Chain A
Amino acid sequence: MSNAIELTNVGWKAGKAFELRDVTIRVPNGSIYGFLGPNGSGKTTTIRMFMGMLEPDHGEVRVLGRRVPQEMPRILAQVGFVPERPHLYPALTVGETIRYHSSFYDRWDQTWAEELTARLRLDSERRVSRMSKGETGKLLLLLALSQRPSLLVLDEPTDGLDPVVRRDVLTAVLDYVAESSATVFISSHLVHELERICDWVGVLDDGQVVAELPMQSFKNGIKRIHVSGAPDAPGDTPFVILNRSEGDAFSAVETWVVRGWQDPMRQYFEGIGATVRGVVDLDLEEGFVELLRSSRPNNHHRG
C-alpha cells in the first residue's frame, strides 16, 4: 500500500450549481499533503467523499487500502478528523467530550490526551458551547490526535484562529507526525501556512484537480520569465505556459508564467529566436494564483 488516500475519477454532482469532475488524487503514505483551493472549489466535498459522508456518482475511493464506503468503520478507526465547522455536542464539557470520544477508539491514548489538554491550555470543566473558536479548534485537534490515527484529515484547521493558537495547532500536528510517521491531509486556502509544512500539494479549482505534485517541484518549478522577441505561436514548449502577457506600450518585453521550468530550458528560447531577459522565482501564493488563473476557461494565455 503506497497511498493513504486514493480517489480515481471521482465525480459527484449537487444540482446545477456544483460538481466534482473526475477528481483523481493520490496522497502518498507518510506525507503531509496540502489540499489547496479557493473557497467553494470543492475541498470539503472531496473530504466528505473519502470520509464516507457522501457517495460519489462515479469513480473509486480508497483510504488506507480499504474501499470507501464499504469498509468505513474500519477506516474511521484509524482516521483522526478535524472538520471545517465544529461538530461537537454543545452541552458537554471538555472532559465529558474527551470521555465520550475516547470510548469509540481502541487505540485511544489517555496519557497523551491529558498531556495535550495541559499543553493546549484547555479547561476540562468548560462547556463546549462556551468555548471560543480557538479553544474548540484545539479540542478537535486533541480528539483527533489522541486516537493515534494513521491518517489525520484536517479541513481548514486554522481558519479564523489567531496566530498563537494557529502555531499551537500546527506544532501539535508536526510533533505527532514526527513521532508516528502518520499521513496528514490538510485542506486550506491559506497558502503560506501549507508552504512551511507540506511535502505534497494538490490544487483544486471549480471541482477539478488542476495540479498534484511534490511541494518542492511546485515551489521551484513555477517561474515568471521576461522574454523579448518571442513569436505569437511558440510551438511545443518543454514547460507548461500558465500565463503570457504582453509588455506595455513602451516595452516589447513579455511576461510568461510557466510551470516545470529548469534552467537548461533557456535554449528553447534561443531556438525560437527569443531572448530571456530575466527569470523570477514565484512564492507559493503567486504560483497558486497563476495556476488557478491558467486553469480557468476565460484564460487566453495572452493579455
Chain B
Amino acid sequence: MYDPMLYVHWKQAKLAMIPFVVAAFGLPLLAIQGLGPEPQGLNLDETLIWLPLFPALAGAIGVVLALTAWNWDHQQGHVYALTLPMARWEYAMHKMGAGVVLGLVPVMAFWIGAHLASASLTLPVGLNAYPNQLTLRFLFAVLLSYALLFAMAAGTVKTTIWSVTGVIAFFIAGSVLNDFLALFFPYFQEADIVAVVGEWLFTARGPFGVFTGNWALIDV
C-alpha cells in the first residue's frame, strides 16, 4: 500500500515539484555565475547574494510537500482515510514516508547541480568545493521544514491556528514579561528572554540551525 500512497502524493505535488526540481538543479549553477575569471580572480562575495536562496528553496520544498500530503484528505474531511483498514498512526507514517521519498527528487537534482557547478570551476589553492556537504545541509533543511509542516498540517485547521498563535503569543508575552522584570531586576535589562530563545532556535545548536549555517558551495 506504500507504493500507491507514494503515487497519490506525487499526483498531488507534481505541478509544484517540477519547478522546484529545476530550481534545485539550477541554483548551484547560478550561484557560481558571478565569480570572476578563474583561477586567480575568484570573487566569493559574488556568491553571497545567492546563499539565502538555498535554505529558502529547501524550506519551500518541505512546505509544499507537507501541504500536498494532507490537502486531499482535508478537502474530504478525512472520511476516506478514516475508513481504510489501517491504524491512524500507520497511515500518517506511510504518508510521511511518501513525502520523504518525493523530497529526495529535488535533493538529488541539487546534488547533481552542485557537482556540475563545482566541476566547472578551477579553484585556487586554499579554496574547496563542498557539493556533498551542501547537499546534505539542503536535505536536512528540506526534511526539517517538511516534518514540521507535516505535523501541523496533519491536525485540524483549529490545531494549526492554536499552534501558530501559541508561538506568536510566546514571543509577545516573553517580550512583555522581559520588560516587566527589567523594572525590578537589573539582570533582565541586559538579558532578553525572547532573543535568547530565538538565538537558540536558529544558531548551530538549535533545531533550526541548519537554515542559518554555512551554505557556501565554495569556501576555504
Contact = CB atoms under 8 A, between A and B. Distances in A.
Interface of A: 51-53, 72-77, 79, 81, 83, 85-92, 96, 99-100, 103-105
Contacts of A77: 85
B76 A87 contact: yes
A99 B83 CA distance: 16
B85 A89 contact: no
A76 B85 CA distance: 5
Contacts of A89: 8, 11-12, 72, 76, 80
B7 interface: yes
Given A77-B85, A81-B83, A91 B12 contact: yes
Given A92-B8, A104-B84, 15 more contacts: A51-B82, A52-B82, A73-B90, A74-B85, A75-B85, A77-B85, A87-B76, A87-B80, A88-B80, A89-B11, A90-B75, A96-B7, A99-B4, A100-B5, A100-B8
Nearest to A105: B85
Interface residues of B, number: 21
B125 interface: no
A83 B79 contact: yes
Contacts of A105: 85
22 contacts: A53-B79, A53-B82, A73-B85, A73-B86, A75-B85, A76-B83, A76-B84, A79-B83, A81-B83, A87-B79, A87-B80, A88-B76, A89-B76, A90-B72, A91-B12, A92-B11, A99-B4, A100-B4, A103-B3, A103-B4, A104-B84, A104-B86
Contacts of A87: 76-77, 79-80, 83
A75 to B, nearest CB: 8
Nearest to B1: A103
B87 interface: yes
A74 B84 CA distance: 10
B31 to A, nearest CB: 35
A99 B8 CA distance: 11
A79 B82 CA distance: 12
Given A89-B8, A92-B11, A104 B85 contact: yes
B1 to A, nearest CB: 4
A85 B8 CA distance: 21
Contacts of A100: 4-5, 7-8
Contacts of A79: 83
Contacts of A73: 85-87, 90
Interface in B69-117: 72, 75-77, 79-80, 82-87, 90
A72 B82 CA distance: 10
Nearest to B79: A87
Contacts of B12: 89, 91
A104 B80 CA distance: 12
Nearest to B72: A89
A98 B7 CA distance: 13
B95 to A, nearest CB: 13
A77 B77 CA distance: 21
Interface in B186-218: none
A149 to B, nearest CB: 11
B83 A51 contact: yes
Contacts of B76: 86-89
Contacts of A99: 4
Contacts of A104: 1, 84-86
A15 to B, nearest CB: 14
A86 B76 CA distance: 8
A293 to B, nearest CB: 33
Contacts of A52: 82
Contacts of B3: 103
A241 B6 CA distance: 60
A149 B12 CA distance: 29
Contacts of A72: 87
A146 to B, nearest CB: 14
Contacts of B5: 100
B15 to A, nearest CB: 10
